[in-house]
Amino acid sequence: MQRLRVDLDPLRETLLLTLYARALDARLPHPILGDTHSADIADAIDYDFAKLELKPSLVCGTALRAKKLDEAVRAFVARHPDAVVLDLGCGLDTRVLRCDPPAGVDWYDVDFPDVVDLRRRFLPDRSLCIGADLTTPGWLAPLPRDRPTMIVAEGLLPFLPGDAFQRMTRQLTAHLTTGELAINGYTRFAAWSMKYHPTIKAIGITAAQGFDDPHDPETWNARLTLVEEQLLARAPEVADFPRPLRAATRLMSHSTALSRQGARILRYRF
């Protein structure tokens, strides 16, 4: 099989990082997410994934946060079979395949136009795609306004400059009537330290955005109310982490402050 060579700038190249993390998880004896679709896509891309030097902590963390966000989407769709799902900065994420929404759900995947073009090569006809820069106005126009909407933004927060994530959230909740926002909430330290992670450093991203208090988004004038904070260091799936990582994560889980520096899923209602 001929593999597809991709030519991406450093920002877009991060989609390969998370893709490969999910692929590596799928190949484990006891995967956390078990996303074989991501493994198939990674196999079809001509790219030196080895240079990313993914550590077990990143592989397990990426798989676990994706699993918890998937669960939030499935729960929302079960309550609202006529829902809209909006996956922001989707990259090559196969969430739409993993969640397999019923026919009454409209699923929108949003990313840069060139990323959307690449996505269509691997995931044709599984969702409605919007190619747009999320920091620019106008891209929300095609979205239904009067249906319950689940907004998912995985890994997006640190890569939007300044207060762009807040402004985008205000625009979304002004456009949409009701729904939920689910994100993996980086603390300020966690977002700042990303640029020193070997994988992020290899790509050249200088991410630096986040917030510590999970109630902070309630002050963004975006009609958000915190529903849930999941500290993933305390998730039962930690039992499937490799032994050294499992021990360190369980030790961290005894402290709420330390657990927040690891990974957390935040869910808000609007």
For 224-246, the pLDDT digits (tens) are 999 999 999 999 999 999 999 99
Between 26 and 194, name the one with better pLDDT.
26
**pLDDT for 208:** 62
* Domain with 102 in it: 4-269
Work out the pLDDT band at 22, boundaries 50, 70, 90. Answer: very high
For the cut 80, the answer to whether the pLDDT of residue 262 exceeds it is yes
**pLDDT for 240:** 94
What is the Cα–Cα distance from 91 to 73, expressed in whole angstroms?
17
- Total domains in the chain come to 1
Six-digit token string for 91: 């990259």
**pLDDT for 198:** 66
Per cent of the chain over pLDDT 70 is 95
For 110-160, the pLDDT digits (tens) are 999 999 999 999 998 889 999 999 999 899 999 999 999 999 999 998 888
**pLDDT for 201:** 67
Q: How many CA atoms lie within 13 A of 266 on its CB side?
A: 23
* pTM recorded for the entire structure: 0.94
Work out the pLDDT band at 170, boundaries 50, 70, 90. Answer: very high
Q: What is the mean pLDDT of the chain?
A: 93
For 172-213, the pLDDT digits (tens) are 999 999 999 999 998 888 887 777 766 666 666 666 678 999
**pLDDT for 188:** 87
Residues 49, 16 contacting (CB under 8 angstroms): yes
Region 2-25: what's the mean pLDDT? 91
**pLDDT for 30:** 93
Judged by phi (left if over 0) then psi (alpha if -120 to 50, else beta), residue 232 lies in alpha
CA distances from 17 to 31, 146, 154 (A): 17, 35, 13
CA 86, distance to chain mean position in Å, is: 12
CA dihedral 89, 90, 96, 101 (to 10 degrees): 10
What CATH number is given to the structural domain containing 251? 3.40.50.150
CA distances from 182 to 36, 145, 149, 241 (A): 23, 18, 11, 24
